A and B are shown apart, each in its own frame.
Chain A
Amino acid sequence: MGKFNKSGKRDMPALNTSSLPDIVFAVLFFFIITTTLRSETLMVRMKLPTASEVQKLEKKSLVTYINIGPPLDTRLGTGTQMQLNDKFAQVTDIQNYIAQEKASMNEADQPLMTVSIKADENTRMQYITDVKQALRQAYALKISYSARKGEN
């Protein structure tokens, strides 16, 4: 009965890792596709207000952001500032900014453009109202008050 080899040491078969790069590449491509590299550096400090009935903004490419809050750099004071595209701006600049953003969009997508107002919770409403009026003048009528989801 020489079929059973009792004396031999049993070697653990090497784990076949040849498909590991393929798997990793698949995950890699997923992240390359989902990631958005165009993330501007914030120059204003903002703590978003909380709300319980928030909706998600679906298409990121259709959303334009307006950041409002006190500047991170305290040398610039503590007054409310607005950041559009990596630089501080005045309310009067909104029209140009919206026109620019609209022009860079697909024509079919232009009516779907949403402006997300990300404002610090201590902002005075006067500022928000001015921004809203400017958005009305620029015909950017779909807006969203950005808020964190949470218990209210």
Chain B
Amino acid sequence: MAKIKKKVPAINASSMADISFLLLCYFLMVSSMDVDSGLARRLPPPPQSQEEQASVDVQRRNLLVVLVNSQNEILVQDQQGTVMYANESELEGGPGKQAMKDVVKEFVLNTSNSPDLPQLIEEDFGAPIGTVPVTSNHVISIQNDATTRYSAYIAVQNEVVRAYNELRNEGAKRYFGTSYEELTIDQKEQIDDLYPQRISEAEPKNYGGGE
């Protein structure tokens, strides 16, 4: 047997690029890169019994009530006073009217130690914050009517979150010297403990003529 060396012909790979380009184009078209974003909330667990539901009691001065009625008018009310906004765009504030986020910030901070704003309680948050008085018992209660528009409700939620975000940013600047975004996870936790988001979303009631 004579040894015949058969040469295996090389596979022509020049069309490989074309094929992979086709596949690439297909995945480019199909893939959706958009990431869903939204306002994160935590719901309370369902009430176990009737008594438990009734037992949640909050001191009046610790409560900021935000009402959104069926005409999408917004009422912000604490013991210090009441601010009324006729629609979503007025939430930013206007002539002779405080912006809603400033009302919320004033309520959460209570810098003047006013008896009409939430109680200040000294708490230790660890270095470098130390022991500072905070309104750890405050509650912001957002209540809506059955016929409130969803967008008005989201606008109100957004203003409350904006107030908290600004507070946290200011806290981060004061205690750590950078913005909140640049803190480490532990530092963020400290700031979150300093200004906890205490938002309550109440059951719907009928305010202002909704059926």
Contacts and interface: CB of A to CB of B under 8 A. Distances in A.
Interface in A40-97: 49-57, 60, 63, 65
Contacts of B30: 35, 37
A143 B43 contact: yes
Interface in B101-157: 144-151, 153-155, 157
Interface string A126-152: 101100110111011111111111001
A25 B20 contact: yes
Contact of A114 (B40, B68, B151, B201): B40
Nearest to A68: B150
Interface string B38-53: 1111111110000000
Contact of B155 (A28, A51, A63): A51
Contact of B27 (A35, A114, A116, A147): A35
A145 B39 contact: yes
A21 interface: yes
A143 B41 contact: yes
B37 interface: yes
B57 interface: no
B44 A136 contact: yes
Contacts of A15: none
Nearest to A53: B161
B10 interface: no
A23 to B, nearest CB: 9
Q: Place the interface of chain B in its size category.
A: 35 or more
Contact of B36 (A53, A136, A146): A146
Contacts, number: 158
B33 to A, nearest CB: 7
A57 B44 CA distance: 20
Contact of B150 (A24, A114, A116, A120): A120
A103 interface: no
A124 B149 contact: yes
Contacts of B27: 28, 31-32, 35
B98 interface: no
Contacts of B92: 152
A104 interface: no
A74 to B, nearest CB: 21
A24 B24 contact: yes
B186 interface: no
B11 interface: no
A121 B43 contact: no
A24 B17 contact: yes
A34 interface: yes
Contacts of B153: 125, 128
Given A124-B146, A128-B150, A141 B31 contact: no
Given A129-B146, A149-B37, 17 more contacts: A28-B24, A31-B31, A37-B30, A53-B39, A56-B36, A114-B40, A116-B36, A121-B149, A121-B150, A128-B153, A136-B45, A141-B43, A142-B40, A145-B41, A146-B37, A147-B39, A152-B88
8 contacts: A34-B31, A49-B150, A51-B155, A65-B36, A121-B154, A126-B147, A139-B46, A148-B37
